Structure 1
Amino acid sequence: MGHYLAKRLLLMIPTLVGILAITFAVIQFVPGGPVEQMVQTLTHSGLAGETAAAAPSALMRGQAGLSPEELAELNRLYGFDKPALERFFDMLVSFARFDLGQSFFHHQSVGALIVDKLPVSMTLGLWTFFLTYLICIPLGVAKAVRDGSRFDLVTSSAILVAYAIPGFVLGVLLLVLFGGGSFWQLFPLRGLTSDNWAELGPLDKALDYLWHIALPVTASTVGNLAVMTLLTKNVFLEEIRRQYVYTARAKGLSENAILYRHVFRNALIPLITGFPAAFIGAFFTGSLLIETLFSLDGLGLLSYESVIRRDYPVVMGSLYVFTLLGLVAKLLSDLSYLWVDPRVSFEEGGR
């Protein structure tokens, strides 16, 4: 196992570098970079005779146009005065030290930006993650035990209809129905907390928080129920039809004993092994459309704005963090097989 773990950790390095290299190469051919956007802003604002370093404070002074010296200063300011290959290797060195650089437009470090936006995405992601598991596993087990019954057909129809409705469409419907759009004003329209949240007591703060997240979490969760529920049902059905279940029944064991002592433990293996990836991924699953719809300033909105504004340090820094965590989550998922089933071997040939 130690050999396998070391090999996987070493393979993460070229995978991570390859993803960053492809993204960095694509960025070089995308028009409208930060220098071009600043030049356009300065030109339309009528700036001339000012250095690029002083440009933000002198947008409304001078004549139109930038001199070559000012254009060169802008390139130096944004780090584009170096060849692309040199900039890429400088970025890798900084990332190796977990220095994600400075945002072009937010004027703060990329790491601080991610940490600042993380609570919103954590709220959506973690609540969606826990509710999905808490609802889907019991529902999937119940459907497997009652396979083919009216309960199975009705619940399958309901979750498939919910799966077919996009999350943002459901969010709009919830706002119209319960957010004061046309019917009832039962839930707030935006934000995670009320304006007077700091003045509330501990219990009132918790209730206010749950009141605000009810609609966005519902919109994010409903569409995820179908896949996990049907996966749970199919896994349990496969286990229920195995020979050891018929043998246990022949020995006189009750259905509950067979289900919870034998079937449940074996059927949960494929579900538990996906737990690490789903848990880590929950921190970054905030939907851009859900965040925009409910005015939640999270990582989804940050990533979208950084792409539109060509804020390359934020694009590359967030990609680095997400990719690294994704690779770690995949490794933990593989290792969890050994934890839930000691018979699994990572050595070649199963030895």
Structure 2
Amino acid sequence: MFQYILKRLLLMIPTLLGVLTVTFAIIQFVPGGPVEQMMSQLRGRGAGGEAGMVASDVRGTRDLSPERVAEIKALYGFDKPAHQRFWQMLKSFARFDLGQSFYQRKGVWDLIKEKMPVSASLGLWTFFISYFIAVPLGVAKAVRAGSRFDFVTTLLVLVGYAIPGFVLGVALLVVFGGQLQWFPLRGLTSSNWAQLSWGARIVDYLWHITLPVIAMVLGSFAVTAMLTKNAFLEEIRKQYVLTARAKGLDERRVLWRHVFRNALIPIITGFPAAFIGAFFTGSLLIETLFSLDGLGLLSYESVIRRDYPVVLGTLFFFTLIGLVTKLISDLSYVLVDPRVKFD
């Protein structure tokens, strides 16, 4: 086990290097970088984005002399060759220093911590609903396989899965936010949230989070429910279940004492990764639709603005989180099923 863990940890290094190298190389050929945006704005062509926030750092007029261009490149660190910038980035990432945003005057770590509560709110609610409602539903469907209950619930689950979350979100906003006005149209809390009591804050938060969570949960809900049902059906048909029934064991005991533990192996092994990933899940479309300033929106805006420190810093962080959670998921197989041996 120790050798397997050590091997997986060592393999994370070339994986991270590969992801960062490919992304960094692509960035070098993408037009409209921060230097071009700043030069365009100083020439008066109205470059969009947040480039104007750092315009005051460059002294001069619209007449861009070679010295002025060199000053702009030095401001963003583009006065050095690409290989030197790449090596400097790797050394910073090795110290878990993700750098500073070009436009927001904040460190990448600060931006992640600032945006994470919004994405964590969506991710955790989606996670808990998917597991603690979809799993019992999947068990009930497996026990009643072929019945009217199984047919109706399968139809509803698959229809919900077929509807994109963004389309469902638009429909929820139009009906419940616009026409009926039962829920707010934007934000995670009300503007006067700080003045509310703790009880009123909880109610206000749940009031705002309801529609985004409903829009996000249907896809993962359907997958978890159907996976649970299929896993249960596979276990129910095995020989040990027939033997337990032949011995006269109660059906409830057969299902929950024997079948349940074996059927949930594929569900439980994905539990750690899903739980950890819930804190960093960012849904760009849902966050944009409901005006939620989370990690998904941060990643999208960083790409559009060519905010390379944020793009590469968040990529490094999320890739590392993904690799670690994948390792935890693989190790959980041993905890759930001792028969699994990695050697």
Asked whether 1:201 is paired with 2:197, we answer: yes
Structure 1 distance, partners of 2:221, 2:170, is 19
Structure 1 distance, partners of 2:45, 2:145, is 69
Amino acid at match of 1:126: L
Structure 1 distance, partners of 2:57, 2:251, is 76
| Superposition misfits of 4+ residues, deviation over 3 angstroms | 52-55
Give the superposition deviation at 1:224. Answer: 2.0
Q: Residue 262 of structure 1 aligns with which residue? A: 258
Per-residue Cα deviation, 1:35-86 (whole angstroms, up to 9, x for no partner): 000000110169xxxxx99842679xx7533000010111111011111111
Asked whether 1:280 is paired with 2:309, we answer: no
**Which residue of 100, 103, 110 corresponds with 2:108?**
110
Gaps of 5+ in 1: 47-51
Q: Residue 159 of structure 2 aligns with which residue? A: 161
Structure 1 distance, partners of 2:278, 2:27, is 27
**Which residue of 327, 330, 339 corresponds with 2:326?**
330
Per-residue Cα deviation, 1:108-145 (whole angstroms, up to 9, x for no partner): 10110011000000011111111110111001000100
Structure 1 distance, partners of 2:162, 2:195, is 41
SS of equivalent residue, structure 2 residue 179: coil
Q: Conserved in 1, the CA contact under 8 Å of 2:53 and 2:103?
A: no
Q: Conserved in 2, the CA contact under 8 Å of 1:53 and 1:74?
A: no
Q: How large is the Cα RMSD of the aligned pairs?
A: 1.7
SS of equivalent residue, structure 1 residue 144: helix
Q: Conserved in 1, the CA contact under 8 Å of 2:166 and 2:286?
A: yes
Structure 1 distance, partners of 2:132, 2:236, is 21
Asked whether 1:210 is paired with 2:206, we answer: yes
Q: Residue 24 of structure 1 aligns with which residue? A: 24
Give the superposition deviation at 1:210. Answer: 0.5
Asked whether 1:230 is paired with 2:215, we answer: no
**Which residue of 297, 301, 305 corresponds with 1:301?**
297
Structure 2 distance, partners of 1:87, 1:311, is 15
Amino acid at match of 1:300: G
Per-residue Cα deviation, 1:291-315 (whole angstroms, up to 9, x for no partner): 1111100011110000000000000
Identity of aligned residues (%): 69
Give the superposition deviation at 1:223. Answer: 2.4
Asked whether 1:247 is paired with 2:243, we answer: yes
Q: Residue 35 of structure 1 aligns with which residue? A: 35
Per-residue Cα deviation, 1:299-333 (whole angstroms, up to 9, x for no partner): 11110000000000000000001000000000000
Between the two proteins, the alignment pairs up a number of residues equal to 338
**Which residue of 272, 288, 307 corresponds with 1:311?**
307
The normalised TM-score by structure 1 is 0.93
Q: Residue 49 of structure 2 aligns with which residue? A: none
Q: Residue 49 of structure 1 aligns with which residue? A: none
Residue 189 and residue 317 in structure 1: after superposition, are their counterparts in 2 closer, same or farther (change >3 A)? same
What are the residue-to-residue correspondences of 1:89-108 with 2, within 5 Å? 89-108=87-106
Structure 2 distance, partners of 1:168, 1:67, is 47
Structure 1 distance, partners of 2:286, 2:252, is 41
